[in-house]
Structure 1
Amino acid sequence: MIKHIRYIFSKDFNPYNNLALEEYLLNHVKEEECILYLWQNEKTVVIGKNQNAWKECKIRELEEDGGKLVRRLSGGGAVFHDLGNLNFTFILHKDNYDLDKQLEVIIKAVKNVNINAEKTGRNDITVEGRKFSGNAFYTDGNRSYHHGTILISVDMNNLSKYLNVSRDKLMSKGVESVKSRVINLKEYNPNLDIDRMKKELLLAFREIYDCELAPIDEKEIVELEMKALVEKFSSWDWIYGRKMEWTYSMNKRFTWGNIDLNFVVESGRITRCAIYSDAMDTWFAENIPAYMQNCLFTSEHILERLNKISVDVKRKDCMQDIKDMVYSERL
């Protein structure tokens, strides 16, 4: 049960520092506490934990314009942040995690500025069918976070300029372009700005959780631990990993997300496997590659390895989709 709610605003617009603080808060959140963290990034593309950086982002254009690329801990797809966007993160222990309650804070805050927001699908908040908030999720042991965007006055031209969004993904959502799918809240309330949104979020947070709201003192944050996390999020290895020339790749979009299965094959055996995906569930990309090591490169043998992987009920259908994709390749 949550007995204490606290909040913190980042004063920094650097994505490496902001994601480092997010993980720091996750590591230190108390058992009966919920933290609301509000932050902004300046000209940044944020990719999901298991995405291919080169495939999702127009890296050269972003860097030439002074932007930054960063990889987050959570799954899901790539997003563009600028100072017209406000990011939120709810940080708490798994036993207290309540997605509907957390989303209600966002929805109530937006409704309080006379905009009729509603939850759509699994992880979007929309106005009149157009998205202003996408959400993603992460769990580490007993601690979890749920974070997302609130588009207030984002430069929509840069959404298309820096992101490589597949046409299949857009069509699966019934739209023709990124810009036609998303909306700035300022279009519905011209007087809305970031500061007003922050105030409304805190008011809604306190009302819905019915607890006294207290700020987090920056003096509580251990500088040495933060420095290590900033180094991690800004490192080449974390953002890009190792760029490989794959021997063979197979890709397909399912209702639960895109999956890109890649192999390096030497002398007929798989020597390296990697999965890139915008799926919210990061489990497949994190667990399947280890089972492919030294496997004979045939559909039959890959399927044998996949059949050895134990999955819970909620992942069973997704695993079957992956097996069907491998079988259809007829390797």
Structure 2
Amino acid sequence: MIRKLLYLCTDNTDPYHNLALEQYLTDTVPADICILYLWQNRHTVVIGRNQNAWQECRTALLEQDGGKLSRRLSGGGAVYHDMGNLNFTFSLPTAEYDLHRQQRVIVEACRSLGIEASFSGRNDILAAGRKFSGNSFYHHNGCSFHNGTLLVSVDMANLGKYLTPSQRKLQSKGVASVPSRVVNLSELHPGLRISQMQQAMAQAFADVYGLPVTTITESQLDAAEIEARRMRFASYDWIYGRAQPFPFSCGARYPWGEITLELQVEEGVCRDAAVYTDSMDAEFAAPLAEALRGCRFRVADLCGRVREVAACCQIADDLCALLGEQEI
């Protein structure tokens, strides 16, 4: 039985820190406690545990614009976070996990603000028939969390900009996101601020569980342990390396000839590469293929390898432009 409620609202906007804190809270939650953790990520795309980053996000464009890509522990689809979005996490013992009760907190928080919200069959929460809260779940070693988004005033243009991958020659068996009609709560409650939503969530938490809420701060937690977890969430291997192997190819015709690059990508790295060209001076093909093998599947890294090949010095700009157009 839940006997105590803890509430933590952080002002840290780094996605890797916030995901690490979420995991830490869940792994250490006592047997009779439920924790409500509210957090925000600045200019971030978060993908689900089993998703292919390149299938879900224009990763190069996000990076170019100063954004961050992150991967959470839970499943579900890709989401865009900015300072108009409030994230929530309920951490509690698995034996006390009650999805409907946890989602009631969100619904009651909205109703206290004059917004009529309802559950949907896909574990989303709707207002005016559109999704403002997508939920995902994680269970491990007797502890669980239920997290999700609360769209308050998210930049919808950016949401579409980064979460709409271009058509490219990439085959993936990853779990693709399911598009949904979304709405900002501020559209239904003009002037709604994040701080108001935070207060409404804290009050609804107490009301739904019928217990007083104790506020905690990060200073009471193990900073070194959280930082160790943050390093994992920020690592290339965690973010990109979980994708299933997939082939990638691109090509174009130039005045100097036609070229096709074919890569086999495994764990975010080009394990094999082939270069096909009808160029009269094709001596660059073999050393280029060799240079691309073992390279991380990122535009900056791939272009770096291209420019290292002496035989490519005259065509490196064309090849890098071609790679950049693929928005990988």
**TM-score scaled by structure 1?**
0.69
Query: 1:224: which partner in 2?
Result: 224
Amino acid at match of 1:65: D
Tell me what 1:198 maps to: 198
Report the CA distance between 1:166 and its aligned residue.
9.7
In the TM superposition, residue 11 of structure 1 has moved relative to its aligned partner by: 1.3
| Partner residue in 2 for 1:189 | 189
2:120 is the counterpart of 1:148? no
**Paired residue secondary structure (1:227):** helix
The aligned residue for residue 60 of structure 1 is: 60
Match of 1:11, SS? coil
User: What is the identity percentage for the equivalent residue pairs of Structure 1 and Structure 2?
Assistant: 50
1:135 counterpart SS class: strand
SS in 1 for 2:54: helix
The residue that corresponds to 2:5 in the other structure is 5
1:31-66, Cα deviation, whole Å (9 max, x unpaired):
000000000001100000011111111001101110
Structure 1 residue aligned with 2:83: 83
Q: How do 1:4-153 residues align onto structure 2 when only pairs under 5 Å count?
A: 4-153=4-153
Closer, same or farther: CA 113–165 of 1 in aligned 2, 3 Å: farther
The Cα of 1:217 is off from its aligned counterpart by 3.3
Q: Please give the per-residue CA displacement for 1:146-186, whole angstroms capped at 9, x wherever unaligned.
A: 0000001000001110013799xxxx97xxx76xx100000
1:242 shift after superposition = 6.7
- How far is the alpha carbon of 1:122 from its aligned partner? 2.7
How many residues align? The count is: 242
Q: Is the 8 A contact 2:85 2:154 kept in 1?
A: yes
The secondary structure found in structure 2 opposite 1:88 is: strand
Over 3 Å counting, the alpha-carbon distance change for 1:140 and 1:61 in structure 2 is: same
**Kindly tell me: are residues 218 and 129 of structure 1, through their superposed partners in 2, closer, same or farther at Cα, counting changes over 3 Å?**
same
Measured in 2, the distance between the counterparts of 1:111 and 1:202 equals 13
Instruction: Give the match for residue 240 of structure 2.
Output: 240
Question: Which protein is bigger by CA-based radius of gyration?
Answer: 2
User: What do the CA deviations read for 1:230-265 (whole angstroms, capped 9, x no partner)?
Assistant: 1000000000007776479xxxxxxxxxxxxx999x
Separation in 2, partners of 1:242, 1:127: 34
Offset at residue 214 of structure 1 (A): 0.2
Q: Which amino acid aligns with 1:189?
A: H
- Separation in structure 2 between the aligned mates of residue 131 and residue 184 of structure 1, nearest angstrom: 9
Larger deviation, residues 77-86 vs 216-225: 216-225
Shift of 1:223: 1.6
Question: Match of 2:137, SS?
Answer: strand
**Partner secondary structure for residue 25 of structure 1:** helix
Amino acid of the structure 2 residue aligned with 1:31 = A
2:191 partner letter: N
Residue aligning to 1:208: 208
| Gaps in structure 1 of 5+ consecutive residues | 249-261, 265-331
Q: Please state whether the residue corresponding to 2:38 is helix, strand or coil.
A: strand
Q: String of CA shifts for 1:162-213, please: whole Å, max 9, x gaps.
A: 013799xxxx97xxx76xx100000111121100000011110001101111
- Cα distance in 1 for partners of 2:165, 2:204 equals 33
Change (3 A) 1:263 1:224: closer
Q: One-letter code of the match for 1:125?
A: I
Give the whole-Å Cα distance in 2 for the aligned partners of 1:183 and 1:153: 9
C-alpha distance in 1, partners of 2:11/2:137?
23
Partners of 1:207 and 1:245 in 2: CA distance = 47
- Matched residue type, 1:196: Q
3-state SS in 2 of match to 1:87 = strand
How large is the Cα RMSD of the aligned pairs? 2.3
Distance 1:34 1:220, change over 3 A: same
Letter in 2 for 1:238: W
The whole-number CA distance in structure 1 between the counterparts of 2:166 and 2:117 is: 27
Q: Which runs of 4+ in 1 moved over 4 A?
A: 242-245
* Cα distance in 2 for residues equivalent to 1:90 and 1:35: 6
Structure-2 separation of matches of 1:105 and 1:245: 40
Larger mean CA deviation between 32-41 and 209-218 belongs to 209-218
Amino acid at match of 1:211: L
Alpha carbons of structure 1 residues 73 and 22: separation in structure 2 relative to 1, 3 Å: same
What is the SS of the residue equivalent to 1:35?
Answer: strand
Alpha-carbon contact 2:52-2:243 (below 8 Å) kept: no
